[in-house]
Structure 1
């Protein structure tokens, strides 16, 4: 089974969509309704964002982008820097993998990691 998409509420649709486009290379597709952004990753995964009056995620909730190598993790970190986005702590080893964590507008916690083996 392959995960196809995730649909998240956001309080600032344009800020959140722009973050994922600039920082993670998502392509914005035409949306069937106002107040919605459909973003597609290079691998075909769809991140759907919907404008909401409020969005509260439970403690620990996050989305993760698994990378193919440690170098890909560093490249993802550099992409955030090149896009002029706020930089989180640099990639570091944690629980047997190289990762970094960042926060997209609206409180969406994002993990970028490579797990060897």
Structure 2
């Protein structure tokens, strides 16, 4: 079984599209009037950006405690590179600079109420 997509609810669809396309390398498939967009990466995975306006709510969505999405980087240098790139983007909140976290090296940031983890794959050595 392969994970096909994840649906993220955000207040600003266009800013989310910019973040995932410009910083994380997703390709925009469709942007429906800045209310919903679909992006894809090279791994046959789609990211659906759902504008909360379609839910008919003004407030930011509430994600469950500790809910987040994560992106693996090849090595510590790659983590530092994307950290520096993300620091140039407006509206992102960083918990700390990249550092040792659990069994890997990385950092967390928030876009709106969505937590994002960037880290080196701690299981890479065990994969064949």
TM bin (shorter chain): 0.7 to 0.9
Deviation, 1:108, is 0.9
> How many equivalent pairs are there?
113
Deviates more, 1:37-46 or 1:63-72: 37-46
Within 5 A, what are the aligned runs for 1:29-68? 29-31=29-31, 33-34=32-33, 35-52=35-52, 53=57, 54=59, 55-68=61-74
1:51-84 Cα offsets, whole Å, 9 max, x none, are 1124110111100112222222222213213xx2
Q: Is the 8 A contact 2:29 2:40 kept in 1?
A: yes
- Structure 1's unaligned 5+ residue stretches are none
Q: How many angstroms apart in 1 are the aligned matches of 2:84 and 2:70?
A: 17
Query: Which residue pairs with 2:98 in the alignment?
Result: 91
- Structure 2's unaligned 5+ residue stretches are none
SS where residue 59 of structure 1 aligns?
coil
Query: Which residue pairs with 1:20 in the alignment?
Result: 20
SS where residue 77 of structure 2 aligns?
helix
1:21-64 Cα offsets, whole Å, 9 max, x none, are 22222221125x55211112243421111111241101111001
SS where residue 63 of structure 2 aligns?
coil
Q: How many angstroms apart in 2 are the aligned matches of 1:25 and 1:103?
A: 18
Q: Which protein has greater RCO, CA pairs closer than 8 Å, 6+ apart?
A: 1
Which one has a bigger Cα radius of gyration?
2
Query: Which residue pairs with 2:4 in the alignment?
Result: 4
Q: What is the CA RMSD across the aligned residues, in angstroms? A: 2.0
